[in-house]
Structure 1
Amino acid sequence: MLEIDPDKVCYIIARFHEFEEEELIDDPERDDDEDDFDLDHEEAFDELDGHNDNDPLGEELAGYISSLPEDEQIELIALTWVGRGDYGPGEWSDVIEAAADRFNLRTAHYLLGMPQLADYLEEGLAAFGLSCGDYEENRI
């Protein structure tokens, strides 16, 4: 079952929404070339060219994700895939195994390269009956 503290996930969601508001990431709904963002988890680690490493908010969020223990980063990947619909919550052990196989030092950039990361994480939490409704950013 989900071991990462949901507040950590909610923090990432909240910060990613700030990222979106500042238009620091591409919105696939505004982009005519939506197919670039429709990556499955096998391809996405190799598709990082659109990530902007010179953005302070992005660097802060990447640093936060990278500072999480490896098992929590793996759970973030898995939760994203559940939220994206690649796996169901009943397949948690399978998705954790797949995410562990794909884990590497680029995990933060992989996750931040997904324009719908916040949505995927919110959906992933919802699949486990969790939400960020009671989240307070100051608790982290």
Structure 2
Amino acid sequence: MQRKLDKDWDLTIGPDTVRIFIEKAKAISAAVNEDYEDGQDHEVEFDGNGRDNHHHDGLAEEEVENLTEEELRELINDLNVDEAAELVALAWIGRGDYEAAEWTDAVTAAKERGNKRTAKYLMGMPMLGDWLEEGLEAIGA
């Protein structure tokens, strides 16, 4: 059983705020079609009369997904330098790059990498929601 660490730091970013990021990141991950293999052709079935019966139902879904992505991107971009560094550090801890006891080192490294492309960097992580959740759990927040 893992022992929770004594909390010897204060988060600039609130755990509830991080949980909002987690929910949005998981919603984006859930929207990805997991059975799609990049670069492969997929069969297209026609009903025989040569008409397209699709009616573009998928466009609304794409807009919703893009809104979720845009919301998450804007939320991350609205963070100050300390909050953004802590969010990156939480993801790194959750991913296993750092241990919870190395919190200060993780935050310092995140600040050194800069804040200009934090949203793009974080949103490029395929399991961002899970890693943030694991990072929060690891530090006992």
Question: Normalized against structure 2, the TM-score is what?
Answer: 0.68
2:14 aligned residue: 5
Change (3 A) 1:114 1:63: same
Out of 78, 82, 85, the residue aligned to residue 71 of structure 1 is: 82
Equivalent runs, 1:96-107 vs 2, <5 Å: 96-107=107-118
Find the residue that maps to 1:65 and give its secondary structure.
Answer: helix
Equivalent runs, 1:38-53 vs 2, <5 Å: none
Q: Tell me, yes or no, if structure 1 residue 94 matches structure 2 residue 89.
A: no
In structure 2, distance between residues paired with 1:30 and 1:122: 26
- Give a deviation string over 1:26-71, Cα, whole Å, max 9, x none: 75x9768xxxxxxxxxxxxxxxxxxxxx922211110011101111
Find the residue that maps to 1:114 and give its secondary structure.
Answer: coil
1:127 aligned residue: 138
In structure 2, distance between residues paired with 1:61 and 1:107: 11
- Give the % identical residues: 44
Q: Which stretches of structure 1, 4 residues or longer, exceed 3 Å deviation after superposition? A: 29-32
Aligned residue identity for 1:79: L
| Contact kept in structure 1, 2:26 and 2:130, CA below 8 Å | no
The structure number with the bigger radius of gyration is: 2
Find the residue that maps to 1:87 and give its secondary structure.
Answer: coil
Question: Normalized against structure 1, the TM-score is what?
Answer: 0.68
- Which runs of 5 or more structure 1 residues have no equivalent in the other structure? 33-53, 131-140
- Give a deviation string over 1:93-137, Cα, whole Å, max 9, x none: 11111111002311011101111001100110110123xxxxxxx
Find the residue that maps to 2:134 and give its secondary structure.
Answer: helix
Query: Pairwise CA RMSD of aligned residues?
Result: 2.1
Q: Tell me, yes or no, if structure 1 residue 19 matches structure 2 residue 33.
A: no
- Which runs of 5 or more structure 2 residues have no equivalent in the other structure? 1-8, 39-64
